[in-house]
Structure 1
Amino acid sequence: MDSHPASGSEDTSDLIACPKCDALYRVVEPDPRERAVCARCHTVLIAPRARAGMQLIAISLTVVILVVAATIFPFLTIHIGGAWHSSSILDAALSFRGGTFYALALTVAALIVFFPVLRALLTLYVLVPVVFDRPPARGARAAFNLSESLRPWSMAEVFAIGCAVALVKVVDLADVEFGPAFYMFSSLVILVVVQDTFLCRYSVWKALEE
């Protein structure tokens, strides 16, 4: 269902702006399983889901567990000429050495490991009290705003695409064996996409305001 464009009324308490094209609408909350979308660019503005809070909490916990486990277990093992080398995700991220490359290594590690974990932890901090009918945690609005600010910088899926491209070139030169972390990280990428799909940001902000 489309949202209704805002009129010239002075009351702005029930207005919502499209995050992509800045079109302003008067809020008309859809029923569960329905969506309110921007009439101009078709961006989803409101998408309430029944029991979405508990599902998001479960997904966030799983994301934290998968990321921690994926940094410990081997990601890939390469066999070539009788020799082999095993590498984890952190080994790959921190493989840069010397001078300014240390800053690059920390940036890569943050984008593919630390930011996804931080976003999941912030989501738990914000949603757990709300879902269990408790007052919002202290600083919950700032925490949710930080989580949303980190969303473009959480690049687990970009790392996965990069690995896929690299593997296409490596398999012709050596035998590649996937480690447990590869499957954990693949599951993580899917869960991050599902998490962003299930999350209705309008509903969260409204719950925090109430």
Structure 2
Amino acid sequence: MDISATQTDDLIACPNCDVLYRIKAPARGERARCGRCHEVLITPRLGAEGRIIALALAVLILTIGALSFPFLTIRAAGVSHSASIFSAAAAFSGGPFFLLSFAVLCLIVLVPVGRVLLLLYVFVPLARGRGVGPLTKQAFTLAERMRPWSMAEIFAIGCAVALVKVADLAEIAFGPAFWMFALLTLLVVAQDSLICRWTIWDALDKEAEA
């Protein structure tokens, strides 16, 4: 049986178990959850756009700052060496590992920054009550697809775990960039928790029809 686009506009699928529900928007402060797996489906928040923009700007500033300062310093046998984000990515740049180096740089810098810029492009017009741009829906779709590949916080956590294992071999001091990445991790989690995808798509559809 064919299902028309009009019929599917009233449906929402659980991202975890794929159960379909007819949309009934909850009131502000309430949540709509999946009856099978209890995944949150809709969670509208008043003024979320402004907070998302503030967090996105903070993430962007912290990312730029993290690229400008040492990530860590290692001291052993009287020798000290400081490493930055770029030097960590460039560690694999020789020979056949060039692609690995490029992938690391993309996943910890380019993808997170690109996603933040896309979110700003989407949310700034919504927060100001202005008409959205012609590519806003495509920008939000791309930002959502980039989310699993934005791994700046994974890089910071992985480095912390690895450095704990070599702490007995050398003296290790975390630089400003590490703490920026640690704070960035918390801000990204807070930012994503504020984004209600259904609410955003509903707002974009209404702006497009206006």
Establish whether TM, by shorter chain, passes 0.5. yes
How far off its partner does 1:13 sit? Answer: 2.4
Question: Secondary structure of 1:90's partner?
Answer: helix
1:37 corresponds to 2:33: yes
Higher relative contact order (CA 8 A, sep 6+): 2
2:205 aligned partner, one-letter code? E
Q: How does 1:55-74 map to 2 (within 5 A)?
A: 55-74=51-70
What percent of counterpart residues are identical? 55
Q: Is the 8 A contact 2:59 2:116 kept in 1?
A: yes
Which residue of the other structure, out of 123, 127, 134, is the alignment partner of 2:130?
134
Q: Which runs of 5+ in 1 are unaligned?
A: 1-9
Amino acid of the structure 1 residue aligned with 2:51: Q
Partner of 2:20: 24
Q: Which amino acid is the alignment partner of residue 119 of structure 1?
A: R
- Return the offset for 1:81: 0.8
User: Aligned equivalents of 2:129 and 2:69: distance in 1?
Assistant: 38
Match of 2:172 among 151, 170, 176: 176
Residue 16 of structure 1 aligns to a residue whose secondary structure is strand
Name the amino acid aligned to 2:57.
Answer: L
Letter in 2 for 1:204: I
Is the counterpart of residue 124 in structure 1 residue 120 in structure 2?
yes
Give the letter aligned to residue 22 of structure 1: D
Using the TM superposition, give the Cα deviation of residue 100 of structure 1 relative to its aligned residue in structure 2, in angstroms.
2.7
Q: Deviations over 1:68-104 (max 9, x none)?
A: 1101100101111111000111211221132331110
1:143 corresponds to 2:139? yes
Q: TM-score, normalised by structure 2?
A: 0.92
Amino acid at match of 1:134: R
Displacement over 3 Å in runs of 4+: none
Q: How many residues align?
A: 201
Decide which structure has greater helix share: 2
Q: Look up the SS of the partner of 2:75 in the other structure.
A: strand
In 2, the alpha carbon distance for the partners of 1:105 and 1:97 equals 5
Alignment match of 1:205 (pick from 171, 191, 201): 201
Q: 2:88 aligns with which of 92, 101, 104?
A: 92
Deviations 1:16-43 (A, max 9, x none): 1112221111111112221111111211
**What's the RMSD between the two structures over aligned residues?**
1.2
Shift of residue 12 of structure 1? 3.1
